[in-house]
Chains A and B, each alone.
Chain A
């Protein structure tokens, strides 16, 4: 619960800092990119704060490259 509140505070702080820039680019497609990345970050932050372990991208990299490296 505490971590979730901290996550919400982090997102709130980000939006507050970017408030002026968000107003400047109102109705622009730049905001889609901004909220796309921010949304992804928010979802990951909430999952992490709920105590679930997020998978590291290195697992996928290892899974793909290990068989190739073993050839050499």
Chain B
């Protein structure tokens, strides 16, 4: 086995929840509001429902293959060489690209709103160094760290929520379904792609949970908690800063926390929001990088996945610097990415179909 560590079912739930929140917490309100407008909460609920269905499907695949990891599942399904080739493309063209997006997100955020004169290279190197150290320490170590972070996120989020309560305007979410159901459905598709489709990466982690058979409930619960938090944040954005501002802003949740002002005393708490984001982005990037190293080690039969951590980290660093030529290109690429991610979703469906045709897999 490539990984010797084991995590508990509870730790797995925390990991899934924070991974789901990941980068989405800061940018999902504007993505949803751009299409669904004030019906963001309906789009969110539809997206979450479908996301839970998707997660259940991922778990069923894992269960069908006796909780093997994704590379082993592909090898079992398509044979050794084709399986390895498919796994290599999956990790290179989906998981790797996704990891560079996450790293670039943190760089862009810091550069845009917090440290405008710092070179993006410095931010990427510092953040990646922490992530790679986490991956090198192994699954158990970074999952325990995640557990330590959880109470802080809950406290910070509760503070944020309570302090925003006086500014809520319920008229902001009216009228309901003004433009019909179609924009809501289109918006919910974006919510499924980002972040629920990305949960496929947990097929690499389920085998290392001490009781894999009990992960179904944990996987669904973690997704529901993370997704619920995202819907709450998105709805809060609409209720406080309104539809136009939410859809126009790049980081609406950050703008939302800027509005907190209690008697001219408790204000400028946007750094709290940034702190929540740093933690969840760290969790997402560490899980993605871990899965990437583990996947590549499985594909190339490397005995220790930790050996590949730094070379893969170096590639992540360079590609993250060149991935988006400009921020306008990112906006242009978003609909293409939705389609691209859905295409990669066909792979688990294909695995399922092949396993049905071939009968009992193990």
B350 at the interface (CB under 8 A from A): no
Which residues of chain A have C-beta atoms less than 8 A from B82's C-beta?
A: none
Instruction: Tell me if B318 and A44 are in contact (CB < 8 A).
Output: yes
Which residues of chain B have C-beta atoms less than 8 A from A18's C-beta?
A: 307, 310
* Closest B residue to A18 using CB positions: B310
B345 at the interface (CB under 8 A from A): no
Which residues of chain A have C-beta atoms less than 8 A from B323's C-beta?
A: 56-58
Which residues of chain B have C-beta atoms less than 8 A from A1's C-beta?
A: none
What is the size, in residues, of chain B's interface with A at 8 Å between Cβ atoms?
31
Instruction: Tell me if A56 and B322 are in contact (CB < 8 A).
Output: yes
A65 to B337, CA, bound (A): 9
Instruction: Tell me if B318 and A48 are in contact (CB < 8 A).
Output: yes
Which residues of chain A have C-beta atoms less than 8 A from B339's C-beta?
A: 65, 68-69
Interface string of A45-64 (1 = CB under 8 A from B): 10010000111111001100
Which residues of chain B have C-beta atoms less than 8 A from A29's C-beta?
A: 301
* Closest B residue to A68 using CB positions: B339
Give chain A nearest CB distance to B326 CB in angstroms.
Answer: 10
Instruction: Tell me if B302 and A30 are in contact (CB < 8 A).
Output: yes
Q: Which of B314, B321, B322 contacts A14 (CB 8 A)?
A: B314
Interface string of B319-360 (1 = CB under 8 A from A): 101111100010001011001100100000000000000000
Interface of B is mostly: helix
B274 at the interface (CB under 8 A from A): no
B200 at the interface (CB under 8 A from A): no
Give chain A nearest CB distance to B359 CB in angstroms.
Answer: 34
Instruction: Tell me if A40 and B315 are in contact (CB < 8 A).
Output: yes
Which residues of chain B have C-beta atoms less than 8 A from A57's C-beta?
A: 93, 97, 319, 323
Which residues of chain A have C-beta atoms less than 8 A from B241's C-beta?
A: none
Q: Which of B304, B306, B315, B333 contacts A37 (CB 8 A)?
A: B315
Chain A contact patch, size range: 20 to 34
Interface string of B106-147 (1 = CB under 8 A from A): 000000000000000000000000000000000000000000
Q: Which residues, 5 to 45 on A, are CB-close (under 8 Å) to B?
A: 10-11, 14, 17-18, 21, 25, 28-30, 33-34, 37-38, 40-42, 44-45
A61 to B92, CA, bound (A): 13
Interface string of B283-314 (1 = CB under 8 A from A): 00000000000001000111110111011101
Top 9 nearest A-B pairs by Cβ distance?
A41-B314, A37-B311, A38-B311, A54-B322, A33-B300, A44-B318, A14-B310, A41-B315, A30-B302
Give me 9 other A-B pairs in contact (C-beta within 8 A), A18-B307, A30-B307, A33-B308 excluded: A29-B301, A30-B302, A30-B304, A34-B308, A37-B308, A37-B314, A41-B311, A41-B318, A58-B97
Interface, chain A (partner B; CB < 8 A): 10-11, 14, 17-18, 21, 25, 28-30, 33-34, 37-38, 40-42, 44-45, 48, 53-58, 61-62, 65-66, 68-69
Task: Provide a sorted-by-A list of 15 A–B residue pairs whose CB atoms are within 8 angstroms.
Answer: A14-B311, A18-B310, A33-B300, A34-B302, A34-B307, A38-B314, A41-B318, A44-B315, A53-B325, A55-B322, A56-B322, A56-B324, A58-B323, A65-B336, A66-B336
